[in-house]
Chains A and B, each alone.
Chain A
Amino acid sequence: MTDQLPLLPDETPAPVFALVQVDDIEPDEYLVGDPPSKAFVDTVRQFGLIHPVGLRYTLDGPLAVIYGRRRVKAARVVGLSQIPAMIWQCDVTLSDVLTLVENEQRKRNPLAALDTIERLAEQGATDEDICLAVGMPLGTLQAQKRLFRLIPPLRQAAREGKLLASGATEAARLPVEQQTQLVQVLEDEGQITVQAIRQVRRVRLEAAVQALPESLFATPGAEGFENPPAEPADPPRVESKLRRDLREVTEELEVWKALVNRQQGMLNTVYVVTGTGYYPRALENIQTLVEAAEVALDQLRQLHHKVPAEVITGLSRALVPFGVKVDTEASDGRRIT
């Protein structure tokens, strides 16, 4: 078993406030983290550093940064010679602990920010004005402003700590009706948890899904699908399909011929038009339609269904270029071959 590393000293040393020369602090290349944003640099230029950074002495080098790396970098960008700092007498271990502690202590307080944003807005400040002044990205401000969607009782609950900031953010996404349900939760339980918010949302979601039409989940051909596939034993449907095939074949042929005439020698890349638009179909595609038409004719023949003469003659004309022979009896009794 290893000895436990003592993270916290028996007595926490008290830091000393000082104005330190920026040049006495370790250089930027030792300071991990993103470079400061332009907006942040602008606020440092405007206000200086509001919060002192945390520093510690090293054996014989420059002052090491415990917390406030971004602020030190911004101070260098702006060209400040001196910045306020809290100097800690501590070892590396306590320094690391303090880095984490300071990060945790600096968490955002969206509810406090909301009140502030609201007051500034009431005085006529636009989102852009606020962002420019405080160095906050517009997206962050807009995310904060979503909390404006909280209905008054929930906003009050948030102020009183009965709805935590994380919950407030989730609750603000809900429509007024669901937020009103949360007021009931507040009355019953004295607080609103994130779990309660999710439960309200889940119930509503389930209701919304259950209200969807069953056709959404139906098997094609079942109720809700208006266009089930043709049954083989239904001659009118087969005939209807035949007519569609005929129309497509003739339309494709017409355009195909026109295009071939215009673009000699491009048989393999030519594009043809059908009633449903352009397709990259060449000869073999038309052949597919012809075959479908043949199948339909066969079916009709077997069913002794007589197709109107104009359909047969039209099809016959269309099929001639492909060497397909139509031999059937039309509804007017004529035998067409």
Chain B
Amino acid sequence: MAFPIAVDRGCGRRVSNGVYWETGLSPYGRPLEDFLLDPPIRVPPDVLASTSAVGVHLHQSASGTWHVFDRIGREFYPHVTDFIEEVRRFGLSRRLPANLEFHRLTPDSRLVLIHDRAYIENFDAYGVGWTCPKQKESHADLGPDFCFGGCWEDLEQGTPVVPGLLEVRREMPSFEYFARLRPEGVVPEYSPAFFASFPCSRIAVVAGDQSTERLARARKAQLPVSEVPR
């Protein structure tokens, strides 16, 4: 099992004593796209009201399993693709509060991700093509409906690759990726939406003066837990 690579991420670097939900990368795993939700699912207003821009929340689904809902901050990841492309390269690592009710987490628990720009309501106004990340045949011609692939057509900034085209290179703290600029003059209408759901490979506790106590708490989860160096 390979674990996420500790690099400078959009949301910064790991901190001592921090507790992190990790989803690792592996040559034997499933493609990242399998974990994306396409189309993204709009977040119901009641659920949205319960999530804050910072921090995570535990919720119990109809099956009785508890899941971690995490709203990806636009401050660090202005575009949902910033986050996805980071996960594609380095794996997923999201900080959990140290006082989370870890005993509720099981192998069936998922990290359910929300981004404020994950659903573009007026994507048909962009007048551009898209590539369905899950290669769904039914997404070839959606009409007014939205395919998650549209998010790769919605960058606001980037270094042009070929003059005159929308393709740009977007630089993130530890990598860069390629996508397209939003066509000029289009005013996007976004809805916050669930866009991905990841299982947990491991809960990592970063070494520090309180890591022993944090490890003890995290070990209440029915998941692998390890202490890792900063």
Contact = CB atoms under 8 A, between A and B. Distances in A.
Nearest to A202: B50
Interface in A207-233: 207-221, 225-229
B158 to A, nearest CB: 10
Interface string B182-219: 00000000000010010100000000000000000000
Interface stretch (A15-23, A146-154, A271-279, A307-315): A271-279
Contact of B63 (A206, A214, A220, A271): A214
A209 B31 contact: no
B104 interface: no
Contact of A204 (B46, B161, B179): B46
Interface in A118-168: none
Given A208-B46, A276-B131, A229 B31 contact: yes
Interface stretch (B9-17, B54-62, B115-123): B54-62
Contacts of A212: 41, 44, 47, 61-62, 194
A280 interface: yes
Contact of A227 (B45, B108, B112, B136): B136
Contact of B59 (A209, A225, A228, A244): A209
Nearest to A224: B37
Contacts of B197: 216-218
A227 B33 contact: yes
A209 B199 contact: no
A303 interface: no
A271 B33 contact: no
B29 to A, nearest CB: 10
A209 B136 contact: no
B95 interface: no
Interface string B1-45: 000000000000000000000000000001101110100010011
A278 B61 contact: no
B34 A277 contact: no
A208 B47 contact: yes
Contacts of B62: 210-212, 214
B60 A209 contact: yes
A214 B131 CA distance: 25
Interface residues of B, number: 41
A205 interface: yes
Contacts of A209: 47, 59-61
Contact of B179 (A173, A228, A244, A277): A277
Interface in A29-50: none
B176 A227 contact: no
Contacts of B180: 277
A226 B134 contact: yes
Interface string B56-86: 0001111101010000000000000000000
A206 B60 contact: yes
A221 B30 contact: yes
* Residue picked from A215, A226, A244, most chain B C-beta under 10 Å: A226
Contacts of B47: 205, 208-209, 212
Nearest to A203: B46
B178 A217 contact: no
B178 A227 contact: no
A213 B42 CA distance: 11
B154 interface: no
A277 B178 contact: yes
A48 B107 CA distance: 66
B49 interface: yes
Nearest to B61: A217
Residue among B37, B134, B199 facing the most chain A CB atoms (10 A cut-off): B37
B149 to A, nearest CB: 9
A265 to B, nearest CB: 18
The 10 A-B residue pairs with the shortest CB-CB distance, nearest first, are: A220-B34, A208-B46, A278-B178, A227-B134, A209-B59, A278-B167, A210-B62, A276-B131, A208-B44, A217-B110
27 contacts: A201-B50, A204-B46, A205-B46, A205-B59, A208-B47, A209-B47, A209-B59, A209-B60, A212-B41, A212-B44, A212-B61, A213-B41, A214-B61, A216-B37, A216-B41, A217-B112, A218-B197, A219-B199, A220-B34, A221-B30, A227-B33, A227-B136, A271-B161, A277-B167, A278-B162, A279-B178, A280-B169
Given A206-B59, A216-B61, 7 more contacts: A205-B46, A205-B50, A211-B62, A227-B135, A228-B34, A273-B167, A275-B131
